[in-house]
Chain A
């Protein structure tokens, strides 16, 4: 006999799949959400008496569709054409009842459609595909709940007005559309990964949601960049436990306790990056994944294969040019050829002004200046970094560095 706990489990495992299929069938987010609610209500009434059906997902889709048809018919000005269409689709559905198609990827493409604003793509994906509540998403992104709710309402309206199809794009469109899906997943991951304090617990959940989304897309569409992104996320996530102290202070890669790294996750991440390279569709995510793989392969920071990393950043700069990639490449070069070669590269980048607001660029300059013995100039560069750094744990680290430099200077005098 089905117990409430079973229903809870089915909700967790099936509700997003069922919703995605209902959205495809009903071509309406709100109607599908009502139908999902109705279907679970019907399950709560019937399953304890009749037992759990063999295929709960198919049962829920069929119950939801039935209730939605009922609602449409009862509404004053129902669209007769829509009802006919639904009845027709319902027949198709019964035919392959046992083998319910996975519509979540289709839904993901709709939620990440380029006609929607990036922040709306993220909010819609988290709510519709991952099943987070408006309140949870708002908390994770530090936005007021009514603001986020409005974003979702507007996005759904935009989808309806633009008549966006619920489908996986054709092969001609696929690369560009897949880009926006991957960008949303990586944004969700980084929102979870870059948090150091305060909302840490909720934020960590965001990273695991992003990994779940990555797994889902990789399973349904194992494109090189999809595998590369999933690998990149796993290789970063594997280091989570070592990235901060118990007090919430930042621990840099070179100082991290490598015994805390999750070896299984690293092995899985590496495997995915290798598959991405084998697919011959190597893009920016696979390249970043490969760089993360080199870092995690080193038993100690000193044993890092920096030559390999310099090479990978070079390829990445050609595939997806950005001043941040150039900065990272310069830092890697400093490890191979010394700070005197890297410093002019970092300073040239800073002179372009593109990285003026990126505090890590000033930190890089400070580190290189210090290594070359220009202590006063290093202090000034740390000062510039502090002026633009907003994250409290990062600021604490910079202040600590400054204090160390000043103590060193006092010792010399």
Chain B
């Protein structure tokens, strides 16, 4: 089973950190990618740019609309993701809980679904 870890962060917590502290999270996350790679859990991981650069796209009622910013109105925003292969949800939770950013942000773990073309 594949699981997506969605990393939610509150930027104001980072604003008060020293550069060294911020760097330690960046390096820690890269080290963690290596750890997951070595253990065979890793599929892919990417950081996301600031929510200010986000666009939410909708095509409701057939009309294409775009909205600036993240679609969630909370202090936390989606700031990255890791896609892993794990035996079950509890192993995935364990892996997500060990990532450095779990100590300051929230990580949403979602099983990855399979999109199947309808046969009708």
Binding site for B on A (CB under 8 A): 30, 33-34, 37-38, 41, 127, 133-136, 145-146, 148-149, 152-153
Q: Known interface pairs A33-B94, A149-B93, A153-B93. Does A133 touch B39 (Cβ–Cβ under 8 Å)?
A: no
Q: Which of B39, B88, B90 has the most CB of A within 10 A?
A: B90
Q: Known interface pairs A30-B94, A135-B1. Does A37 touch B39 (Cβ–Cβ under 8 Å)?
A: yes
Cα(A37)–Cα(B41), bound, Å? 10
Please name all residues of chain B whose beta carbon is closer than 8 Å to the beta carbon of A38 when the two chains form the complex.
39
B39–A153 touching, CB < 8 Å: no
B39–A127 touching, CB < 8 Å: no
The answer, yes or no, to whether B89 is at the interface (CB within 8 Å) is: yes
Cα(A24)–Cα(B89), bound, Å? 23
B93–A133 touching, CB < 8 Å: no
* CB of A386 to closest CB in B, whole Å: 38
Interface residues on B, range: 10 to 19
A133–B87 touching, CB < 8 Å: yes
* CB of B110 to closest CB in A, whole Å: 10
A-B CB proximity, top 8 nearest: A133-B88, A134-B88, A134-B89, A149-B89, A134-B90, A149-B90, A152-B90, A30-B94
A sample of 25 inter-chain contacts (CB < 8 A) reads: A30-B94, A33-B91, A33-B94, A34-B94, A37-B39, A37-B40, A37-B87, A41-B39, A41-B40, A127-B90, A133-B1, A133-B87, A133-B88, A134-B88, A134-B89, A134-B90, A135-B1, A135-B88, A135-B89, A148-B89, A149-B90, A149-B93, A152-B90, A153-B90, A153-B93
Cα(A148)–Cα(B88), bound, Å? 11
Besides the contacts A34-B39, A135-B88, what 5 more A-B pairs have beta carbons closer than 8 Å? A33-B91, A37-B40, A41-B39, A134-B89, A148-B89
Please name all residues of chain A whose beta carbon is closer than 8 Å to the beta carbon of B1 when the two chains form the complex.
133, 135
Cα(A38)–Cα(B41), bound, Å? 11
Please name all residues of chain B whose beta carbon is closer than 8 Å to the beta carbon of A152 when the two chains form the complex.
90
Contact residues of B between 74 and 120, Cβ < 8 Å to A:
87-91, 93-94, 111
Please name all residues of chain A whose beta carbon is closer than 8 Å to the beta carbon of B91 when the two chains form the complex.
33, 37
Cα(A182)–Cα(B17), bound, Å? 53
* CB of B86 to closest CB in A, whole Å: 9
Q: Which of B88, B93, B94, B111 has the most CB of A within 10 A?
A: B88
Cα(A41)–Cα(B88), bound, Å? 17
Please name all residues of chain A whose beta carbon is closer than 8 Å to the beta carbon of B94 when the two chains form the complex.
30, 33-34
Please name all residues of chain A whose beta carbon is closer than 8 Å to the beta carbon of B89 when the two chains form the complex.
133-135, 145-146, 148-149
Q: Which residue of A lies closest to B41 (CB)?
A: A37
* CB of A138 to closest CB in B, whole Å: 8
* CB of A305 to closest CB in B, whole Å: 47
Please name all residues of chain B whose beta carbon is closer than 8 Å to the beta carbon of A134 when the two chains form the complex.
88-90
Q: Which residue of A lies closest to B31 (CB)?
A: A74
Contact residues of B between 1 and 18, Cβ < 8 Å to A:
1
Please name all residues of chain B whose beta carbon is closer than 8 Å to the beta carbon of A30 when the two chains form the complex.
94
Q: Which residue of B lies closest to A127 (CB)?
A: B90
Cα(A34)–Cα(B3), bound, Å? 17
Please name all residues of chain B whose beta carbon is closer than 8 Å to the beta carbon of A41 when the two chains form the complex.
39-40
Please name all residues of chain B whose beta carbon is closer than 8 Å to the beta carbon of A37 when the two chains form the complex.
39-40, 87, 91
* CB of A88 to closest CB in B, whole Å: 26
Please name all residues of chain B whose beta carbon is closer than 8 Å to the beta carbon of A135 when the two chains form the complex.
1, 88-89
Cα(A48)–Cα(B90), bound, Å? 30
Cα(A300)–Cα(B1), bound, Å? 49
Cα(A146)–Cα(B96), bound, Å? 14
Q: Which residue of B lies closest to A41 (CB)?
A: B40
Please name all residues of chain A whose beta carbon is closer than 8 Å to the beta carbon of B87 when the two chains form the complex.
37, 133
For B30-42 the 0/1 string (1 means CB < 8 A from A) is 0000000001100
Cα(A270)–Cα(B97), bound, Å? 49
* CB of B76 to closest CB in A, whole Å: 19
Cα(A387)–Cα(B89), bound, Å? 38
Q: Which residue of B lies closest to A135 (CB)?
A: B88
Cα(A38)–Cα(B40), bound, Å? 9
Please name all residues of chain B whose beta carbon is closer than 8 Å to the beta carbon of A133 when the two chains form the complex.
1, 87-89
* CB of B28 to closest CB in A, whole Å: 10
Please name all residues of chain A whose beta carbon is closer than 8 Å to the beta carbon of B90 when the two chains form the complex.
127, 134, 149, 152-153
Cα(A146)–Cα(B93), bound, Å? 10
Please name all residues of chain B whose beta carbon is closer than 8 Å to the beta carbon of A149 when the two chains form the complex.
89-90, 93
Cα(A133)–Cα(B87), bound, Å? 7
Cα(A156)–Cα(B91), bound, Å? 13
Cα(A33)–Cα(B88), bound, Å? 12
Please name all residues of chain A whose beta carbon is closer than 8 Å to the beta carbon of B39 when the two chains form the complex.
34, 37-38, 41
Cα(A61)–Cα(B6), bound, Å? 34
Cα(A133)–Cα(B88), bound, Å? 5
